[in-house]
Amino acid sequence: MKLNLSKKLEKALNEQVRMETESAYIYNGMRLFFKEKGLPGATSWMTHQAHEELKHAEDFIDMILDLDGHVVLGELKEPTTEYKSILDVFEAGLAHEKEISSSILELLDLALEEKNYAVENFLRTYVDEQVEEEDHFRGVIDMVKMAGDDPAALFKVDGILAKRD
Ligand code: OFO
């Protein structure tokens, strides 16, 4: 039992830093798609999301440093800015969040296996965070589906997305 990090856990947490940073990059690609389509509400929603991801990456960095670990910033993949529709973007976002959730759960398994309770506590807050993240995307998907191809309804959805704080 210990409060510092094993090399294995340090490596896995660093990979999560990379993934959270990459999430911001992916959401920036989505933001640009919305900006080019002239959807200010969706652009602002996605900008907010991208900023959140950078905060998540920062949290993981702080966790590693607090436990006397070493941070390594990994390479990021180039994100796409090409999507078929608003729905396509949010569905891709939800699929991405599901991958992030699996990664957090795997990390939690590792922390439990190593009896690293400090990391376990930290990760449990991220399990809750992921429930929220997936729920946000699902909520938007439901609204966009309801609006269908009706431009007036989509305009309204864009107005609702603008109100995210
Ligand atoms: Fe960091 O929660 Fe999304 O990716």
The confidence score (pLDDT) of residue 164 equals: 83
| Atom 1 of ligand 1: nearest residue by CA position | 53
Please give the Cα distance from 19 to 17 (Å, whole number): 5
Ligand 1 touching residue 56 (CB < 6 A): yes
Maximum alpha-carbon separation in the chain: 59
Does 49 sit in the ligand 1 pocket, CB within 6 Å?
Answer: no
H or E element: which one contains 156? helix 151-162
Asked if 45 and 164 count as a contact pair (C-beta separation under 8 A), the reply is: yes
Residue with CA at minimum distance from ligand 1 atom 3: 97
Rounded to 5 degrees, what are φ and ψ at 133?
A: -60, -50
Query: Residue 2: what pLDDT?
Result: 59
Block means of pLDDT (10 residues each) for the chain, 165 residues, are 84 98 98 97 97 98 96 96 96 98 98 96 96 96 96 95 88
Question: Considering the entire predicted model, what is its pTM?
Answer: 0.94
Q: What pLDDT does 118 receive?
A: 95
Best residue among 49, 133, 137 to mutate for probing ligand 1, ranked by most atoms within 8 Å of CB:
133
- Using CA atoms, how far apart are residues 156 and 27, in angstroms rounded to an integer? 22
